[in-house]
Every structure is written in C-alpha cells, then in structure tokens.
A and B are shown apart, each in its own frame.
Chain A
Amino acid sequence: MNTNAEIKAKFALAFKGFELDVDIQVPARGVIALFGPSGSGKSTVLRCLAGLERAPQGLMRLAGTVWQDENNGVFVPTHQRSLGYVFQEPRLFNHLTVRGNLEFGYKRTPVPERCIEWTQVIELLNLSHLLGRRPQRLSLGEQQRVAIGRALLASPKVLLMDEPLASLDQQRKNEVLPFIRKLHDELDIPVVYVSHSLDEILQITDTLVLMSKGRNVATGSLQQLCGELQLSEYLGDMAGAVIETRINQHEAEFGLSRLMFDGGELYVPLQNAEINTPLRVHVLARNVGISLAKPEVMTSILNMLPATVVEVDVPDVDKHTVQVKLDIGVPLLANISRKSLHNLRLQPGQRVFALIKAVSLAQKGIDDVELLSNKS
C-alpha cells in the first residue's frame, strides 16, 4: 500500500473501565466508516485522530503527514492539523450568525491552502438563505448542515464525522445524508465516518473498520466484510452480503429493473436511473434460502442463483438458525434453520441454489433517497 495515500492510526488508551487499543491502516480516500456498537471506542478513535485526546504511545499519519508520533516526540496540536470535525450535535457558535460560523475556519485558512470555494459549499449544502440567521433559529438539520459547511470551509485534508446524524430524526437524516454522499462524490476529501447505524454505513461507506470493545476487529471493503460469517455476530439481524451492481435493463412493464453483478443478475423494483448506473444492494441473510436443486416447477421467487457452499457456521444450540456462506460470484450469506441444515446436509463445495426473497437497496446517489425506506 502506498503510504502517501493512507491513514495510519495506532492508539492505546485506558480510561476508567474502558480500554482502547486500535491499529488502523486504511486508504485515505472515500468514506471510511468506523462501525460498531455504542461503547466500542469509535468516537474516542476520532478524538484521537483530531488530537482532542492524546494516546500516550500514539502514532497517527495522514497521507505522509505525521500528526502524532510519540516515540519521536511529535504531537501536532489540534489547531495545527488540517482537519474538519463534525460532532454529534451541531455545536454552532451561538454568538455568531450562520455566516460568522461558516467564516470561522475559512478566515483562518491561508488563501493558498484554500481548496474549497465558498460558493461551492454554500451551494452544495444549500445554505444561501440561512446566512444571516442566528443558529438558535435553525432546525437541527439545518444546524448540522451549517456545521458540515463550517468544517469544509477550512479546506481540511480529512473530514471526521462523529455520528453526524444521531441527533436528527429520520426526516432530518434524509435531509442531511444526501449532502454527505454528495460531498464525498464532489469534493475529494477522505471522510472518517463514525456510526452505529448500519443503514447509514451501507449507503455511504467505501472502507469499513469494524470496532468492538475498543479494538478494530476487521478492516476491508463493505462487500468483502459483509460477506464474512465471522462478522455477522456484530450485525445480528442486519447480517447480510453487500453486492455492488450496475443497472443492466429495465422491465418497465413489470415494474422491475435487472441488476448485473460479477456473478449474475438480480431483480429489484424499477429504478429511476439510467442503464449502467452503479447500485449497491444489501441482501439480508435472513432473506436468503437454499435449495439443493433448481426447483423443477415454477416458483414465485425471481432471484434464484446457482451457488457454491463455502462455509457453514458452527451451529449454536441456543438458536434455531445457522448461517451459511455461499459463493454466487460474490459472497452471499444465508440464514437457514438448523433443521434445514440437518435435512440438506450442506457441505463446503456443494452446488446449491440461493433463493433470494428480498433485496434492499443501499444506493449512493442523491436522487434515490426515497428508495431507502422502500426495501423491496
């Protein structure tokens, strides 16, 4: 991996009743999600990245720039790090107007280092009508948009976002989330995004860092990690494969679109998008069944794909279901009953058929917000 384009972070910290010990190395591009349950140390990692907490033996490098290397006595204070931080709450300065808030970091960024234009941000986040207002007079969603804009206008080398949607209700989330996706698509700034909401993660993540009990337990692309049996315990009910697809064909007369991926095709409800548009889908393990042979008679299930059994999870006697990892060209997880496992006698390498009862869309793109709640 080219060290010029990665984020390297090694922090160990002990608080009362909590220990953090992470060693993260990820590409410094796209959205890097720190994902895990509350209390897994995600926010602390973010604070360490910003220099708001100081891990005694810490090491932190962003694309070749060293911000912390305690072994060599380096610790760059927060205000000298080129970063944007969006907190859970908007934290706007109440003594300033929206414009004053937006200008705070902008004015403190030397002109030659400004790589993000004022108008670009105002337009991107739709802030022009708010500029003269006081933060107290804005809705939470608007405030959070201003907070994002304020962070961006400091032309940061990395944007750190700590559950920026957590304080918002669903409607406000849908108001802000598209902007985060847009900002990732339009501005070339790596984003480290902390969340415990799989929904958000699925929509925006490129690289996933899975956190548990103060440690980073796995790192990889979303598609790669979501296809791993070992990780499904962290996701519970939401365990399932993520598949990157493209729209192949529309079947408007049936209200369907056909998606193409590396191993075949999937039907989803008709997408209002052009052929070849990339579309990320999430196939929940509990929506995947297994058949030993292609059903001889017709079934109502459209998405039926030849698959190979890769791995069968160790059955847990406390549960009636067990997870099976399949290969359909890409990894796919299926959740079947232990009784079915017993009846089918599944073995690794066995050829079977995956019956996909439903496909959720985890689309990137501003036009598809309405699809998020429209799990097919």
Chain B
Amino acid sequence: MELDLTPVWLTLKLAAVTTVILLVISTPLSWWLAHARSRWSAVVEAIVALPLVLPPTVLGFYLLLVLGANGFLGEPWQAVTGSSLTFTFSGLVIASVLYSLPFVVQPLQNAFTAIGRKPLEVAWCLGASRIDTFFNVMLPLAKRGYITAAVLGFTHTMGEFGVVLMVGGSIPGETQVLSIAIYEHVEVMDYSSAHYLSAGLLIFTFTVLLIVYVLNRRYPSHEH
C-alpha cells in the first residue's frame, strides 16, 4: 500500500501560512487588548474567544455563508480573483485564522499585560521611538509569549477538522488536510493509513509542545 502524503504537506503549509498571518494581526490586537481601557475591549475579547467554545460546525456554517459566492467576502473575492473562497486553500486560510485566533491572541495578550507600560516608558525616555521600542524592548521581552502563541496557533491549525470540513470539503491537494484524510481512511476501513497519519500527528504535536514547555521551564521569562 502506498501512503499518500499530500494531506501532510497541505496541512503543514496551511498551518505555516495561518501562523504567520495570525502573528502579524494578533500583535496589534493583543497590544490593544492588553493596554486599552476602552469598554469595547471586553466585547472584542469575547469575540476573539468564541472559537474556543463554539462548535466548529457553527463557525464553519457562518463562514460558509460569508465566504460563499453570494457572501459578504466571497462575492468581492470572486469578482477580483475570479475564483471562489469556499472549497479552496485561500478560504481555508481565512477560516483557520479565525479558528486559531484565540490561541495566538491570548498568549500575546498575557505577555503584553505582564510586561506592562513601564519598560516602554523607560525606552521612550531614553530616546527610542515607538517602532524602535517595539522591536528592541517589547519583542525580546515578549519572546516567550510569541513562541507559545506560534506553537499553539500552528498545532491547533494542524488539528482542525469541523471548520475545514464545512468550508473546504475534501479536495485532495487543495483542501484535504490531515484530519479530513484520516476521517476518510477510517470511513473506508483503511485503518492502517489512518494509523500512520494519526500517530504521526500525535507524535509531532506532542514533541513540539514538549519542546516549548521544556524551554519555558529552563529559561525563565524576562517578563517580570
């Protein structure tokens, strides 16, 4: 039997792209959540946390509507690119970004909150601009938060199922990610392939998490 590894590469690609996008958009968002005293911050916090508790099918259902050919995002996308957002890799990326958002925002927000304003004020007083302060004070101090956020975002995206199924279906090479492939192997009683992929995912995820937690213990954070 020949094991098809396409879903593995597709999953890694999806997780990598999603993580990069998430780190970029979560930085200002988490920063704002950590420092804003606006009454809206609680609302935004709750929205960000929704994917933690909402059934993936609910999220997937609404995404399907929004990304669909007549959807609020899908229609302009189709007009500009000529391709659909549903049942494509691009659609999966958008879905994954939303689905994994809390896993990236929360560690960053915690890191930013722990760091507080004080080191930033010091940096400003020493002549560092906001950008300078971000790269030379905030980022190094929040390093642990970023590593945790990246790992959680990556591994969580690798493991998603429900949202992908709703938004992406199971098109080999395009939207058929690991969890979907495993599901389909089981459906056709191909337990051996299901085993390989499942065990691979399990070992990979465990190893990455283990490395992060070991590092976190060994190198105490600078956050305090």
Question: Are A150 and B126 interface neighbours, CB within 8 A?
Answer: yes
Name which of B42-50, B91-99, B117-125, B194-202 contacts chain A.
B117-125
Question: Are A91 and B122 interface neighbours, CB within 8 A?
Answer: yes
Question: Are A109 and B127 interface neighbours, CB within 8 A?
Answer: yes
Asked if B83 CB lies within 8 Å of chain A CBs, one says: no
Asked if B207 CB lies within 8 Å of chain A CBs, one says: no
Question: Are A83 and B123 interface neighbours, CB within 8 A?
Answer: no
Name the prevailing secondary structure of the B interface residues.
helix
Report the separation of the CA atoms of residues A71 and B222 in the bound assembly, to the nearest whole angstrom.
42
Asked if B16 CB lies within 8 Å of chain A CBs, one says: no
Q: For the complex formed, measure the closest distance between the CB of B194 and the CB atoms of chain A, giving whole angstroms.
A: 45
Interface string of A63-93 (1 = CB under 8 A from B): 0000000000000011110111101010101
Asked if B172 CB lies within 8 Å of chain A CBs, one says: no
Question: Are B125 and A95 interface neighbours, CB within 8 A?
Answer: no
Q: For the complex formed, measure the closest distance between the CB of A149 and the CB atoms of chain B, giving whole angstroms.
A: 12
Question: Are B222 and A95 interface neighbours, CB within 8 A?
Answer: yes
Question: Are B137 and A108 interface neighbours, CB within 8 A?
Answer: no
Question: Are A95 and B141 interface neighbours, CB within 8 A?
Answer: yes
Q: Chain A contacts of B140 at CB under 8 A?
A: 95
Q: Chain B contacts of A84 at CB under 8 A?
A: 125
Interface string of A148-190 (1 = CB under 8 A from B): 0011001000000000000000000000000000000000000
Asked if B216 CB lies within 8 Å of chain A CBs, one says: no
Q: For the complex formed, measure the closest distance between the CB of B125 and the CB atoms of chain A, giving whole angstroms.
A: 4
A78-B125 contact, Cβ under 8 Å, with A94-B222, A95-B222: yes
Chain B interface size, under 10 / 10 to 19 / 20 to 34 / 35 or more: 20 to 34
Q: Which residue of A lies closest to B224 (CB)?
A: A94
Q: Chain B contacts of A108 at CB under 8 A?
A: 126-128, 132
Asked if B129 CB lies within 8 Å of chain A CBs, one says: yes
Question: Are A151 and B119 interface neighbours, CB within 8 A?
Answer: no
A105-B126 contact, Cβ under 8 Å, with A87-B118, A94-B141, A95-B140: yes
Report the separation of the CA atoms of residues A91 and B141 in the bound assembly, to the nearest whole angstrom.
13
Question: Are A105 and B137 interface neighbours, CB within 8 A?
Answer: no
Number of residues of chain A lying within 8 A (CB) of chain B: 23
Question: Are B119 and A91 interface neighbours, CB within 8 A?
Answer: yes
Question: Are A105 and B127 interface neighbours, CB within 8 A?
Answer: yes
Report the separation of the CA atoms of residues A50 and B124 in the bound assembly, to the nearest whole angstrom.
9
Q: Chain B contacts of A79 at CB under 8 A?
A: 123-130, 132-133
Partner of B126, one of A52, A77, A151: A151
Report the separation of the CA atoms of residues A78 and B129 in the bound assembly, to the nearest whole angstrom.
9
Asked if A118 CB lies within 8 Å of chain B CBs, one says: no
**Residue among B122, B126, B141 with the highest chain A CB neighbour number at 10 A:** B126
Q: Which residue of A lies closest to B133 (CB)?
A: A79
Q: Chain A contacts of B125 at CB under 8 A?
A: 50, 52, 78-79, 83-85, 105, 151
A104-B128 contact, Cβ under 8 Å, with A52-B121, A95-B140: yes
Report the separation of the CA atoms of residues A18 and B110 in the bound assembly, to the nearest whole angstrom.
30
Q: For the complex formed, measure the closest distance between the CB of B213 and the CB atoms of chain A, giving whole angstroms.
A: 21
A52-B124 contact, Cβ under 8 Å, with A79-B129, A87-B118, A94-B141: yes
Q: For the complex formed, measure the closest distance between the CB of B137 and the CB atoms of chain A, giving whole angstroms.
A: 6
**Residue among B118, B125, B141, B222 with the highest chain A CB neighbour number at 10 A:** B125
Q: Chain B contacts of A154 at CB under 8 A?
A: 126-127
Q: For the complex formed, measure the closest distance between the CB of A291 and the CB atoms of chain B, giving whole angstroms.
A: 54
Q: Chain B contacts of A151 at CB under 8 A?
A: 125-126
Q: For the complex formed, measure the closest distance between the CB of A251 and the CB atoms of chain B, giving whole angstroms.
A: 50
Q: Chain A contacts of B137 at CB under 8 A?
A: 93, 95
Report the separation of the CA atoms of residues A50 and B121 in the bound assembly, to the nearest whole angstrom.
10
Interface string of A244-286 (1 = CB under 8 A from B): 0000000000000000000000000000000000000000000
Chain B stretch 100-132: residues in CB contact (< 8 A) with chain A: 118-119, 121-130, 132
Q: Which residue of B lies closest to A50 (CB)?
A: B125
Report the separation of the CA atoms of residues A105 and B125 in the bound assembly, to the nearest whole angstrom.
8
* A-B contact sample (9 more), CB < 8 A, given A91-B122, A104-B123: A50-B125, A52-B124, A85-B121, A87-B121, A93-B122, A93-B141, A95-B137, A95-B141, A108-B126
Q: Which residues on B are within 8 Å of A, measured CB to CB?
A: 118-119, 121-130, 132-133, 136-137, 140-141, 143, 222, 224
Q: Which residues on A are within 8 Å of B, measured CB to CB?
A: 50, 52, 77-80, 82-85, 87, 89, 91, 93-95, 104-105, 108-109, 150-151, 154
Give 21 A-B contacts (CB < 8 Å), ordered by A residue: A52-B121, A77-B124, A78-B125, A79-B126, A79-B129, A79-B132, A79-B133, A82-B127, A83-B125, A84-B125, A85-B121, A91-B119, A93-B122, A93-B141, A94-B222, A95-B137, A105-B125, A105-B127, A108-B126, A108-B128, A108-B132
The 9 closest A-B pairs by CB, nearest first: A105-B126, A85-B125, A108-B127, A78-B124, A94-B222, A95-B140, A95-B222, A79-B124, A91-B122
